[in-house]
Chains A and B, each alone.
Chain A
Amino acid sequence: MQRNLMIKVLVIVATVLVCIFGVIGFPTSMEGLKANVAKNIRLGLDLKGGSHLVLQVQVQDAAKTIADQTIDGLREDARTRNIVIAGYDRNDPATLADTDSIQVNVHGVDVAKTQIFRNLVTERYPDWILTPVNQNDYTLKMKPTSLLELKRNTVRQSLDTIEKRVNKLGLTEPTVQAHGDPATASEVLVELPGVDDPARVKDLIGTTAQLKIVEVKNEGPWKSQEEALGAKGGILPLNTELREYVSAGSSGGWYLVTRTPVITGQDMRNAKPAVDPDSPGRWETSFTLGQDGARRFEKFTSANIGNRLAVLLDNQIRSVATIQSTISDSGRINGLGSQEESSDLALVLNAGALPAGIKYLHQRTVGPSLGADSIREGIYSGLAGLVAVIIVMLIYYKRSGLNAVLALLLNTVILIAALAYFSATLTLPGIAGIILTVGMAVDSNVLIFERIREELRSGKSIPAAVDAGFGKAWWTIVDTHVTTIVSCLFLFIFGSGPVKGFAVTLVIGLLANVFTAVFVSKVIFDWELSGKTQMTELSI
């Protein structure tokens, strides 16, 4: 019996030590202690401050890009195969939900070449299904499997790009992960602790950063899009579009540019911010080109000396320059307003373009001062409540109240240690879980003590009353705990972030409570009783 008790005491002491180690480690100084606690207890953004962004990848953009590329490819292939085709266009899915409707229309295919055209599509464009509308017109729709792959790739690429961009910000422990329903997974969760300029970071992440260098047609610029259209008689020449020149937030007129880029962001290597040597107080971003891009650029510039080029970033012209001589391997985007702007542009160019636009669904920024206030007030008020509970327990249950208090404190320590070991994050809803745990821990002890009192009143001896009290309260404790754990399982499976956090904390706390309220508290009672041969009164 004694030996048995010793083993139990050792189990408890070992548990306590493991838990304390989990929270504070082996500190050598007060600072070390604080650092270890801060490292082991990961606070959620709502407590320590930072930005929480949920964004949605606009996969339909990627579908449109693919459709445009297919049109370009078809045009080229038709020409080499001498198929006369009157025209091409595609539809314009506006929202993410419409992605599946992407469709390319081919008009006026020469009837004599029908078979060659059909073979061309099935051989060269296996992602598409060709359906005839009538003798001359066809539609191409994307295969479901290809669509699925497109979606998956687009989201994964976006995730990678965003991660690269975020990592270059030099924050501690940023999170970038897929988010939301895995079936339609198009959402990305970004968590940035300690960002003090969230608007800038939001822009940085959200820029598609699709960079193109295009040829400028030797006309214009016009003051507005309407004026430009008017000058062209309402119809733009083939393969051209109108783009606005934007410099430091204001419009610099509209230009007519070619649709097909000479080079794109993918050809660029090693973008760098620098002071603009031409206009004082301005900044620029310089870049070099990869081999393939350099070759194409050289060919183009040597053939077009005297003509103009435009640098387009996300379909806005950032600079227009006249080609003075053959350029092969480098270039620059000048006229940027600040160093921040030029280094941000370099950052997004180096991290690569997003394959599709993004939309912010949810943004929450907790200022660091609010986070600090929340922690302070939360801790003080929590401690005040705990002290009140302890005082009442000690008054009401005297010595036995001390048992309960010990069990309660141990429960909290185990809970916090478990959070540290699992690297779980403590958030406000998590604290709600802790409060419910503490409440149920108090309840378990109260249940047991009230039972022991009842048994004592019915005339049982002290050890028998303690045993019966624990025994009878046991099933009640099991029922209350299992019910709550069952509900937590559902909350965890079907709930989202904050609700999940609540459920995890609560389950850990309840399991710890079964250990502390039933096992630890019983051992303390047994320990007290074992010392004395005859106990006349139990302090309860």
Chain B
Amino acid sequence: MELFKNTNFDFLGHKWPFIIASLVLSVAGVGSLVVKGGPHYGIEFKGGMQLTVKFASEPNVEKVRSVLTAALPSAPSVQSLDAGSNELLIGTEGAEDATMAKNQQIIMETFAKAFGNPGSGKLDLNNVSTSQLANRLADPLQKAGVQLSMQQIQDVAAGITAWRDSHGGLLTKIDDLKGVKDLTPQVLNVLNAECYLAPYSAARNFESVGPKAGADLRQQAIQATLLALAGMLVYIWFRFEWIYGVGAVIAVFHDTIITIGLFSILDKEITLTVIAALLTLVGYSMNDTIVIFDRIRENLHLGRGSSKGPGLGEVINQSVNQTLSRTIMTSGLTFLAVLALLIWGGPVLHGFALALVIGILIGTYSSVFVASPIVLFWHDWADGRKAVAAPVAPAAPAKPSTTGKVKAAR
């Protein structure tokens, strides 16, 4: 099957609408960043405390917000993580370690009061650690006539918490624990007598970051990425011409800016996994651009024989057309893969997959409509200057230097 055979679109002839679209997207993204005072950083970059609470059914966000605001010294942020996952992300800003630990404690207590049943004197099986459970069960088990050593009780407790955690971390019926290996009916009876199930689990995810550590991490990630870009620029310069390197790096920059801008417009957090996605997107976009540049170099090399070779613009058009099938296939396939991640990847991968879905679309077209035009603009401008200086302009612009390098490279 072949979809794009011998295509001959005039890509560069239609570059303006795309360049304008790029500019509009970039400006909108940067505008949103300026208005919102920079990217919406995740907890690991800005410092603060954050925890994820999973509910058995659709949680009442307003109720959670009001009870927490009443209990905490400053209003927390409460947001739904993902439709259908019944998870809430609760964050407090507040710098010091002691404050964060205290806030965490307040949140846990408030949740127990508002949604659990601490007054019953029973133990909440959904928010209990193995050692707490073992300590609680020791006496009642003995009274119920179950002869187990402390170590065996520890093992039983560990079995129960492990079973709970491998089943989504949230139990709805104590009798479900029948599935736990070696759990006798007597133990189950004791569990039923001593424990209850709160309709939430707060042990999903907890993170606290000091503000200094957050700033360091952010600075380090940005620094590493910029240096990586510089490294790529130098390599492309070495293999092609410096303007190719500049074009490729500007294209990649453009992709990153637009993606970060769209994240700002959509109010999505820039977390560490999103940074990983941005790095991936830099790789994809760069790869795409180099494939086209490679073809341009090859075609310039082929055109060397004739005294009146085609102009650079024509060569670029020809090269983009020749690689079009590849571009569509590769981008389409990778797009398919990250789309699957976006749809089924769950809340942890959501930001990552979203950044890549946006990034692959933008990265693919930036190779054609950003990187290539930059190379063309530069050569046209440089030739124009040369033409002014020396009235007899060479027939094929930019050929001598490029072909020279091609030779050296092969």
- Does A380 have its Cβ within 8 Å of any Cβ on chain B? yes
Are A381 and B343 touching (Cβ within 8 A)? yes
In the complex, what residues of A have CB within 8 A of residue B71's CB? none
Q: Does B352 contact A (CB under 8 A)?
A: yes
Q: Which of B191-215 contact A (CB under 8 A)?
A: 201, 203-210, 212-213
B interface residues, tally (CB under 8 Å): 94
B349 and A491: CB pair below 8 A? Answer: no
Does B132 sit within 8 A of A, measured CB to CB? Answer: yes
In the assembled complex, A389 has its CB within 8 A of some CB on chain B = yes
Q: Does B290 contact A480, Cβ atoms closer than 8 Å?
A: yes
Residue B378, interface by CB 8 Å: no
Residues of A near B66 (CB, < 8 A) are none
Provide the residues of chain A in CB contact with B79, threshold 8 Å.
Answer: none
Q: Report whether A496 and B221 are in contact in the complex, using a CB–CB cutoff of 8 Å.
A: yes
In the assembled complex, the Cα of A506 lies from the Cα of B206 at a distance in Å of 29
Residue-wise, chain A 413-438 has the 8 Å CB interface mask toward B (1 for contact) of 00000000000000011001101101
Tell me the smallest distance from the CB of A70 to a CB of chain B, in Å: 30
Contacts of B101 in A (CB 8 A): 199, 202
Q: How far is the CA of A527 from the CA of B164 in the complex (A)?
A: 53
Please give the number of chain A residues whose Cβ is less than 8 angstroms from any Cβ of chain B in the complex: 82
Pairwise interchain contact B294-A479, C-beta atoms closer than 8 A: yes
Tell me which of B5, B275, B410 has the highest count of chain A C-beta atoms within 10 A of its own C-beta: B275
CB 8 Å contact bits of A430-466 with B (1 = contact, 0 = none): 0011011011101100110010011001000000000
Contact of A428 among B210, B213, B273 (CB under 8 A): B273
Contact A495–B131 (Cβ < 8 Å)? no
| CB-defined contacts of A372 to chain B, threshold 8 Å | 165-166
Against B, the Cβ 8 Å flags (1 = close, 0 = not) of A492-506 are 011110110010001
Query: What separation, in Å, do the CA atoms of A490 and B231 have in the docked complex?
Result: 7
Known A384-B340, A439-B284, A483-B235; contact A368-B352, beta-carbon cutoff 8 A: no
Q: Give the docked Cα–Cα distance between A506 and B279 (Å).
A: 11
- A487 B341 Cβ-Cβ under 8 A: no
**A486 at interface by CB-CB < 8 Å:** yes
Q: Smallest Cβ distance from A483 to chain B, in angstroms?
A: 5
Complexed CA–CA distance, A197 and B343 (Å): 33
Asked if A490 contacts B346 (CB within 8 A), the reply is: no
Is the Cβ of B291 less than 8 Å from the Cβ of A373? no
- Determine how close the nearest CB of chain B comes to the CB of A52; give it in whole angstroms: 9
**Per-residue A-contact encoding for B290-334, CB less than 8 Å = 1, 0 else:** 110111001000000000000000000000001101100110111
Interfacial chain A residues near B52, Cβ < 8 Å = 367, 370
What A residues does B352 contact at CB under 8 A?
428, 432
* From B131, B225, B228, B323, residue with most partner A Cβ within 10 Å: B228
User: Are A362 and B210 in contact, with the CB atoms below 8 A?
Assistant: yes
B166, B220, B283 — which one has the most chain A CB atoms within 10 A of its CB? B283
**Nearest-neighbor residue (CB-CB) of B334 within chain A:** A439
Q: How distant is A314 from chain B, measured CB to nearest CB, in Å?
A: 14
A261 at the interface (CB under 8 A from B): no
> A428 touching B348 by the CB < 8 A rule?
yes
Select B212's contact among A361, A364, A475, beta carbons within 8 Å: A361
Closest residue to A484 on the B side, CB-wise?
Answer: B283
Instruction: Looking at the assembled complex, report how far the CB atom of A361 sits from the nearest CB atom of chain B, in whole angstroms.
Output: 4
A477 to nearest B CB, angstroms?
A: 9
A76 located at the interface, meaning its Cβ lies under 8 Å from any Cβ of chain B in the complex: no
30 A-B pairs in the complex with CB atoms less than 8 angstroms apart: A196-B129, A338-B135, A360-B97, A362-B210, A363-B209, A364-B44, A365-B206, A368-B169, A369-B54, A372-B166, A373-B168, A377-B348, A381-B340, A388-B333, A388-B340, A432-B279, A439-B284, A440-B287, A442-B333, A443-B326, A447-B326, A450-B325, A450-B329, A484-B287, A487-B282, A491-B228, A494-B224, A499-B275, A502-B279, A506-B283
Instruction: Give chain B's interface residues, CB within 8 Å of chain A.
Output: 1-2, 5-6, 44, 52, 54, 97, 101, 104, 129-132, 135, 161-162, 164-170, 201, 203-210, 212-213, 217, 220-221, 223-225, 227-232, 234-236, 239, 272-273, 275-277, 279-280, 282-284, 286-287, 290-291, 293-295, 298, 322-323, 325-326, 329-330, 332-334, 336-341, 343-346, 348-349, 352, 356, 409-410
The 8 A-B pairs at the shortest CB distance, nearest first, are namely: A369-B169, A377-B346, A385-B337, A385-B340, A381-B344, A429-B276, A197-B129, A487-B228
Beyond the given A197-B129, A378-B345, A436-B283, please list 5 additional residue pairs across the A-B interface where CB-CB is below 8 A.
Answer: A197-B130, A367-B52, A436-B280, A475-B410, A484-B287
